Structure 1
Amino acid sequence: MSYAHLTPTAQPSPRLRIAYLITNSEIGGAQSHIGDLLQSMQGRAETVLLAGGEGPLFDIATRTGAKIMRLSRLDNALSPWRAVTALRELVQALKTAAPDLIHAHSAKAGALGRIAGFLLRIPVVYTVHGFAFKPEAPWRQRLAARAAEWLLAPLASRVICVAEAERRLARSLPVPADRIAVIANGIPDTDHRAAPQAPLRRIVMVARFAAPKRPDAVIRAFARANLHDCELVLAGDGPQRKAMEQLAQQLAPGRIRFPGNVAEIAALLASAQAFVLASDHEGLPLSVLEAMRAGLAVIASDLPGIREQIGHNKHGLLVDHNDEPGFSAALERLASDATLRGALGSAARLRWEQHYGLERMTEATWSVYRDALARTPRAARVPT
């Protein structure tokens, strides 16, 4: 366990102190979301990041001025013993940080954070980036996730859902309706803009190579589509990457690139003329928002959260649940109609401006913090 930039026990401060907790510090949508929150909370609150792993989120947090606490025992392992030892480490870290509020993200950190907050009498805000018991998930995962969420639901002072579809799932848990808020993900603007009406030369998907993402469906659809002089770029990393590289070499040799984790996602998207995302289930994917911000035409799986982002034939094209021929047909449709690509891209950009900016999300999140603290007296900021 490594605690950087912290005194043995944090001293009282007139400003709110928030502990942001996530299971892994790797690159991902939830991690990007925390990075944006840390950035937007500068000047408003003291912030502390608690996370496992050795990923780039720690560097992002340091640049925002947040304090860093690396949790060596926090990971995605399903071992009960690892969970118990991670909880002990987390409780000790929270005693050291002495936050007024815990904002927990991701399933395991969300579970342990709620237990630790209950033990230390620190209010917990839990952001659900996508419930794992949604109907599209495997049945064993659904059962386990639902049982865990049911037991832990009462321990959260407030629950933030990133989409209305997630709120509907949350209402099936023992959480009062007035403790559930929907705050759509928001991201900051950039200067990078795509030119989707230009000849189709590059299609991009940004995702981790792991469930629930389906890069295999995108590879198969791209390989069967009648696309000339066009490459597919699959940006990201993860346990399935090698298998996907082999599949790409088999089906479309030399036409699919795997650049790994890309630091400048906005620049990559600006170099493309279309964006695609295939997934088994989603909350409100940040990668789609990044594509909308760039002004790209989007092709995506027709899932509840994505339907809230993208109107079919308005801001993009939605395809039945990982229907590979459907994805292929959508790719061919965009390839043959530059005017459609431009119109969808412009509409997607306008929708992002109206609904998914960072300031809107920050203000709504701050309001939830105030409400959670009003329900639970402010912590004494000394070890419990």
Structure 2
Amino acid sequence: MERFLPWLDAVAGVSTEICRKIEARMTSRKIPAVHQPYGVPMPETPLARSHDGPLRVLYLGRVSEEQKRVSLMRRIMKATLAKHPTLTWTLAGDGEALPAFQEDFKGDARVNILGPVPYEQVPKLLEAHEVYFLCSDYEGLPLSLLEAMGAGLVPVVSDLPSGISEVVNDRNGIRVAIDDKEGYAAAVLQLADDRQRMAAMSSAAVSEVRLSHSTAAMASRWEAMLDRMMGDSEPDWGRPCRAGAPLGHESRLMFNPIFRPFRSAVKRYRLGKANSAGIT
């Protein structure tokens, strides 16, 4: 990042933890690292949800051991299904670990393995579930988490310093310490046994995202940041701007405007030579 600093006025990070790490890496020049979390589209009116019947848990993401710890998720799924036989799981996503899930849960009607799901189908998928599950050991700020909470799903997620801890709290979800392997299953089972608590958390999850993580809220934050940076000055959109050499390019002299006719001539010559070679 250091080499880009001379051309930047600010850096945006999706979590305060990321902003803190960005600021720690700046040595040659200090610029603001501004917390700018994502926003997701929200329906005009909240979805009417029913919390009757078997608990429906959804994993939506990459089916990979790296970061997502899906081998742990397989064990959690088996533990919850053994203790709560009516509970259901849906796995939506693709990755190298998908065949292991297909083999482990073959013939189990309580586990629905969808594979990759087109993005336009995600809203309907979220509508059909009540709990969003994620046991990653690191994340920035998962967009799927915000989309799920905005649709009323209650998150059972890893307690991570970046992003998740700023969105998920005791009122709208359950955070589990990443080394508490049994804690993930226990959290899912708690929600399965206490549907009244889960309904309250679902409403709180929607309110959190609508208030702080909608696209409208995101746009307002960016507008406020740009206003602060501009101060009282007005942008001069008509001012000519000179483009320099690409950052990190060794031969900066070649991008001097004086050499532009020469570069164009060389380019035309090479193109003509290549076309001639193709014809013959």
Q: TM-score, normalised by structure 1?
A: 0.54
1:158 aligns with 2:10: yes
The amino acid across from 2:156 in the alignment is I
How far residue 173 of structure 1 moved from its aligned partner, in angstroms, is 1.0
> For residue 206 of structure 1, what is the aligned residue in structure 2?
60
Is the partner of 1:234 in helix, strand or coil?
Answer: strand
> For residue 286 of structure 1, what is the aligned residue in structure 2?
143
**Structure number with bigger Rg:** 2
- Alpha-carbon spacing, 1:324–1:382, altered in 2? closer, same or farther (3 Å): closer
1:379 aligns with 2:234: no
Separation (CA, whole Å) in 2 of partners of 1:257 and 1:192: 26
Cα offsets for 1:190-230 (capped at 9, x unmatched): 36736262223421111122332223322211211212222
1:217 aligns with 2:72: yes
Separation (CA, whole Å) in 2 of partners of 1:335 and 1:300: 16
1:345 aligns with 2:171: no
> For residue 6 of structure 1, what is the aligned residue in structure 2?
none
Is the partner of 2:42 in helix, strand or coil?
Answer: coil
The amino acid across from 2:140 in the alignment is G
> For residue 35 of structure 2, what is the aligned residue in structure 1?
182
> For residue 236 of structure 1, what is the aligned residue in structure 2?
93
Cα offsets for 1:269-310 (capped at 9, x unmatched): 111121111111011111111111111221100001211010
Q: In the TM superposition, what are the counterparts of 1:14-53 in structure 2 within 5 Å?
A: none
Percent identity of equivalent pairs: 25
Separation (CA, whole Å) in 1 of partners of 2:46 and 2:55: 18
> For residue 20 of structure 2, what is the aligned residue in structure 1?
168
Separation (CA, whole Å) in 1 of partners of 2:25 and 2:200: 41
1:257 aligns with 2:115: no
> For residue 364 of structure 1, what is the aligned residue in structure 2?
221
Of 124, 127, 130, the residue aligned with 1:270 is: 127
Is the Cα contact below 8 Å between 2:12 and 2:35 reproduced in 1?
Answer: yes
- Alpha-carbon spacing, 1:159–1:267, altered in 2? closer, same or farther (3 Å): same
Unaligned runs of 5+ in 1: 1-148
Is the partner of 1:204 in helix, strand or coil?
Answer: strand
Separation (CA, whole Å) in 1 of partners of 2:240 and 2:91: 46
Is the partner of 1:172 in helix, strand or coil?
Answer: helix
Deviating more after overlay: 341-350 vs 240-249: 240-249
How far residue 231 of structure 1 moved from its aligned partner, in angstroms, is 1.8
> For residue 306 of structure 1, what is the aligned residue in structure 2?
164
How far residue 355 of structure 1 moved from its aligned partner, in angstroms, is 0.5
The amino acid across from 2:123 in the alignment is A
The amino acid across from 2:91 in the alignment is L
- Alpha-carbon spacing, 1:339–1:177, altered in 2? closer, same or farther (3 Å): farther
Separation (CA, whole Å) in 2 of partners of 1:219 and 1:192: 32
Is the partner of 1:264 in helix, strand or coil?
Answer: helix
The amino acid across from 2:38 in the alignment is N
- Alpha-carbon spacing, 1:196–1:296, altered in 2? closer, same or farther (3 Å): farther
Unaligned runs of 5+ in 2: 246-254, 256-280
How far residue 152 of structure 1 moved from its aligned partner, in angstroms, is 5.0
Aligned residues: 233
Separation (CA, whole Å) in 2 of partners of 1:298 and 1:196: 17
Cα offsets for 1:120-178 (capped at 9, x unmatched): xxxxxxxxxxxxxxxxxxxxxxxxxxxxx455555544311001111111111116554
> For residue 271 of structure 2, what is the aligned residue in structure 1?
none
Q: In the TM superposition, what are the counterparts of 1:76-155 in structure 2 within 5 Å?
A: 149-150=1-2
Q: TM-score, normalised by structure 2?
A: 0.72
Cα offsets for 1:332-368 (capped at 9, x unmatched): 1000001011011111111111101101212333555
How far residue 245 of structure 1 moved from its aligned partner, in angstroms, is 3.0
